[in-house]
Structure 1
């Protein structure tokens, strides 16, 4: 018989420190999560970086207005 064991509360850290880099990464990840409905941006169908950046600006403006 296999019994699952979990560590006791005294082994868990009290608080996990969050740095500035983590907050910035979280903000960027949330931004791209809001852009996911726009499939062309998620899969990057544009051929040039300029067109890709323009599509990001357009989708960000639409997301901001909603």
Structure 2
């Protein structure tokens, strides 16, 4: 449940989140979600979910 809250907090600029108080695993998790981005057709940044899945399937 905490990871879902963390994901929603990292997505919205109106919520102030003190990154210094997060654990290392929380920071890595948040960076991974931000790197992947969102679904195709959205205006979100990142490499998109489909590209991430294709990369995983080629490994």
Instruction: Give the structure-1-normalised TM-score.
Output: 0.34
Higher relative contact order (CA 8 A, sep 6+): 1
* Bigger Rg, structure 1 or 2: 1
Instruction: Give the structure-2-normalised TM-score.
Output: 0.37
